[in-house]
Copies of this chain bind each other. A is one copy, B any other.
Amino acid sequence: MVGIDEVARRAGVSTATVSRALSGRGHVAAATRERVEAAASELGYVVSASASSLATGRTRNIGVVVPFLNRWFYTSVIEGAQRRLMQYGYDLTLYNLSGVSNERGTVFEHFLLRQRVDAVIAVSLELSPDEVHSLHALGKPLVGVGGPIPGVPTLSIDDLAVSRLATEHLLSLGHTVIAHIGGDVDAEMSFHMPTNRRLGWEAALRDAGIDPRPDLYYPAVFTMESGYLAAKRMLGDPRLRPTAVVVASDEMAIGAILAARDMGLEVPRDISVVGIDDHELAPFFGLTTVAQFPEGQGEGAVELLMHELDQARGDDEATNVPLPFELVVRSSSARPRADRD
């Protein structure tokens, strides 16, 4: 392993100058810099990350914590974060809580805190005040993605506004009996995301002068199968005749579309379906949805972090950055049939 002193010797300068020339910090004569760079590349020199970290106290490594991996949303966030981090010369260390049996305590104590990362991105994670505190105590910037964490700058869409938009889309098409398939309690995903999406549905209905009927709300978990089952319950109930349904995620919405097909119903003729996400499968199923952009969220989180790291523990404004979302109309939503009811 060729070290800095070999480069120094070859370039005829001191190690300090090599360090300065290669890191870009401090002033180095252009000619000197070139000689150093030449020497470095001839020798195939790369700085030792650990030596550099030890000296500077910075690892150039960001920890990303996710509750699961096998979900489009998380991997998309990670992908965006990774791409942007690479541009900044940072590594991404992944912490997946789903595999951790003995509680996530391990992750926080033995990994994150081990001075292995300069900062952390928490994706859709409800961090306890203690966890937030210990990170802050260590001077580690922290940003959240996908849901607000008290006292922590967070990137997330306005879930209420998103499902309100989805609902209003259906209202504007002329639907009046609009159901909702959404997360049950705030289980699994933590956060109040499922609740907020339900509230958005209710709010849009009320604004349209329609009283949201509790029996038009179908709880489910965020999987295709669960959406399928919820839709079967919904479509099979002879008392309820929704002409449209707002579904809290695309995966569930796709399940709902498949349920309708299995029952011999046609989408959107017999039932309009609107999802939330713009999942990679949404175009294939012709799913109308409200797109969020998780890759962009990952990138944004990195930007925020880089900013904070620059500021040397600057103002922890704990702002909740609102994220863009966008209605994407495909073929799963249309005007209700005139001949119904």
CA–CA, A86 to B99, complex, Å? 9
Measured between C-beta atoms, what is the minimum distance from A104 to chain B in Å?
11
A172 part of interface (Cβ distance < 8 Å): no
A293 part of interface (Cβ distance < 8 Å): no
The answer on a CB contact under 8 Å between A49 and B99 is no
A83-109 interface (Cβ within 8 A of B): 83, 86, 89, 91-96, 98-100, 106-107, 109
CA–CA, A106 to B83, complex, Å? 12
Q: Which residue of B lies closest to A251 (CB)?
A: B281
The answer on a CB contact under 8 Å between B46 and A54 is no
The answer on a CB contact under 8 Å between B49 and A115 is yes
A218 part of interface (Cβ distance < 8 Å): no
A308 part of interface (Cβ distance < 8 Å): no
The answer on a CB contact under 8 Å between B284 and A115 is no
Select A79's contact among B48, B69, B82, beta carbons within 8 Å: B69
A331 part of interface (Cβ distance < 8 Å): no
Q: Which residue of B lies closest to A92 (CB)?
A: B94
CA–CA, A270 to B187, complex, Å? 41
Point out the residues of chain B lying under 8 angstroms from A59, CB to CB: 49-50
The answer on a CB contact under 8 Å between B115 and A50 is yes
The answer on a CB contact under 8 Å between A91 and B93 is yes
| Interface window among A70-78, A198-206, A313-321 | A70-78
CA–CA, A258 to B113, complex, Å? 48
The answer on a CB contact under 8 Å between B70 and A70 is no
Q: Which residue of B lies closest to A261 (CB)?
A: B261
Point out the residues of chain B lying under 8 angstroms from A138, CB to CB: 1
The answer on a CB contact under 8 Å between A69 and B75 is yes
Point out the residues of chain B lying under 8 angstroms from A228, CB to CB: 284
The 6 closest A-B pairs by CB, nearest first: A83-B99, A50-B53, A50-B54, A69-B75, A50-B50, A49-B116
Show 14 A/B contacts (Cβ-Cβ < 8 Å), sorted by A: A1-B115, A46-B109, A49-B115, A50-B59, A50-B115, A69-B78, A70-B280, A78-B94, A78-B96, A79-B96, A82-B96, A83-B99, A86-B106, A93-B94
